[in-house]
Amino acid sequence: MAGIRWPPEDSDLFPARPAGATVTELISDDDRSVAADSWSIKSDYGSTLDDEQRHVDASEVLSASNFPAASDYSSDKEEPDANEVEPSMLGLQSYWDATYAEDLVNFHEHGHAGEIWFGAEVMDVVVSWTKNLCANMSGATDAAEGSSSNSESGETVGDLSTWSVLDVGTGNGLLLQELAKQGFSDLTGIDYSEAGIELAHNLAVRDGFAGIKFVVADVLDAKLDRKYQLVMDKGTLDAIGLHPDGPVKRMMYWESVANMVASGGLLVITSCNSTKDELLQEVDNFNKRFGIQDQVQEVGTGPADVFRYVDHVRTFPTIIFGGVEGSRVSTVAFVRN
């Protein structure tokens, strides 16, 4: 079921912030005017890529492209419009730096973990669904190799501890903690906010998950030393789309995450600003522009897709808006070819 776009400002998915210093008090007028250059920072892996050149390249692609309208997937809209969201403070690094600085103070003073983006219920659904998806994929691989992957109850288990997991835009890192509780152990979180990474590390140590690795890095130009079998995104693509240069940044996002997911690995995106069908269309557009040629393809079959749709969550609570029923949040999984 396709989701329904719901403005973040009006949604109860984003609860009121705790008492204490407010984000507004921490953000200066200069911070509020930060645009494209606020998105790029240095990572622990070295200096940033030539973000300005990538920005220009993506802009040229946008202006020159004439992508076909809708994909083969049904939608409640005549034309997907994933990039129509108006810019917001939530798209600026200055907002998140101030937010996590406030959360860090509240952690040290009161032990608070900060907000759970989209709420605890959505996070629980995403984690449980992702666990089952990965376990089933592991079970299918084990079966193909002739090994046993079933528990005594007959359920597919799979060895989740062997999955390398990357959470992009990890924030306070609570999503990774929940994945650790489900059996994942090779866990890494990246975020461009140093305060966010410090908060995530402190929370992980306090809660008994000191083995989770956290790195200051921007998803748009992170120089990681490995690829991951599972890449999670819970709201990061949404925030990128809210940047003043959202459409360009989103194109850069797909190029970047394509280099983070290992061949045969999964990308799981949870969004409140894009429906399932809009995410499918966005991936379809990316595949058409940056499709790769499979080395073992037969001549004349055309380029292979970079990402291929696997499944989506069907159990989120639904609402009726404008006579259409759907969910406020969509989670979609893609496999990297």
**What confidence tens digit (pLDDT) does each residue in 171-204 have?**
999 999 999 999 999 999 999 999 999 999 999 9
**Residue 144 vs residues 138, 139, 230, 253, 262: alpha-carbon distances, Å:** 10, 9, 20, 34, 20
- Please state the separation of Cα 96 from the chain's center in Å: 16
Q: 165: Cβ–Cβ under 8 A, 6 or more apart, which residues?
A: 176, 179, 184, 186, 187, 188, 228, 229, 230, 231, 232
- The token pair at 255 is 């190029």
- 119 and 15 in contact (C-beta within 8 Å)? yes
Distance CA 266, CA 311 (A): 11
Distance CA 330, CA 134 (A): 18
pLDDT reported for residue 60: 54
pLDDT reported for residue 7: 40
Mean pLDDT score across all residues of the chain: 77
H/E stretch holding 248 reads: helix 246-258
For tokens 């003043």, what's the residue?
A: 244
pLDDT at 297 over 80: no
Q: What are phi and psi of 219, to 5 degrees?
A: -55, -30
Top pLDDT among 82 and 95 is at: 95
Condensed to tens digits (0 to 9), the pLDDT of residues 40-77 reads 332 332 333 454 554 555 555 444 544 333 333 333 44
Banded model confidence at residue 146, pLDDT cuts 50, 70, 90: low
- The token pair at 270 is 């949870």
pLDDT reported for residue 201: 98
For tokens 């306070």, what's the residue?
A: 172
Q: How many CA atoms lie within 13 A of 315 on its CB side?
A: 10
pLDDT at 124 over 70: yes
pTM, to two decimals:
0.73
Mean per-residue pLDDT for 91-119?
96
Q: In this structure, which amino acid lies at residue 187?
A: L
Q: In this structure, which amino acid lies at residue 3?
A: G
Pairing of strands 307-312, 261-271: unpaired
